[in-house]
Structure 1
Amino acid sequence: EKLSQKEVVPEEKSESEISRKTPLISKEKEADILGRLEEFEKSEKFLNRDMSLAVLAGQLDTNTKYLSEIINKYKEKNYNNYINELRINYIAYLLKTDSAYLNYKVSYLAEKAGFSSHSAFTTVFKSVTGISPNTYIQQLTQNK
């Protein structure tokens, strides 16, 4: 009986498939980066408008590849979504806990959260919370 080509020669895996399955980072290094990332989350440095993956990697004393891998694996999102979610959750927390923020314009909240534009803030706010910043503020105001 003749063997087909596929049975004789195993399929080659692409480099990206191999690298996804191969652990790039030791467990110790992973835990270290994760710990530093959790400290970063408490620091409010994510509000810095210039906080890029490269800047954060430098602050956490790691490289962008490792940091990106950790965020993807443990936060289950890419870097931009991770930072944006931290920013939106921070503003949502301020709106809930400090009623003075309910009177601020959305453009001020966007700037405070580290967004470069009002529209980007509104888009991300809605994607994280499911409602626009104005609707969110209205709901909080009605519940007070």
Structure 2
Amino acid sequence: RVAEKLKDKNHVFLIGRGLGFITALEAALKIKEISYIHAEAFPGGEIKHGTIALIESGTPCIVFVGKENKDDVLANAHELRARGGFIVGVAEENSKIFDLWIKVPEDGEASLIYQIIPMQLLAYMLAVMRGCDPDHPRSLAKSVTVK
């Protein structure tokens, strides 16, 4: 359902705090690499510094909620929703603020690591739905050469 909602979007914003921000960065990279959707990760504490201005009606916002930062990330989700954001929560438990919820296993801080798995699947499904070949992304090098 999440891929179906996002497949025609040009932008998606991913918000996390602490380890959740690291997950957001990796998820944004995977989405960009194989589906060619502009995906950008932001730390939850920084969304008022420019990011919030990019949110308009229907803008997809994926929030990564962990036990240690639950209240702060949900507060971010409320701010994004107030500006029209479409909120996808990646969390152990659902919240009324989420338009869609991706459940992850309950395992304390480790649940933030588990959150990348559904994001990899999301990136794959987005690529396929958009007619992209996820096995051969364009302009992606397997290594970096520094001269």
TM-score, scaled to structure 2: 0.27
Structure in which a larger fraction of residues adopt strand: 2
- Which structure is richer in relative contact order (CA contacts within 8 A, separation 6 or more)? 2
Structure in which a larger fraction of residues adopt helix: 1
TM-score, scaled to structure 1: 0.27
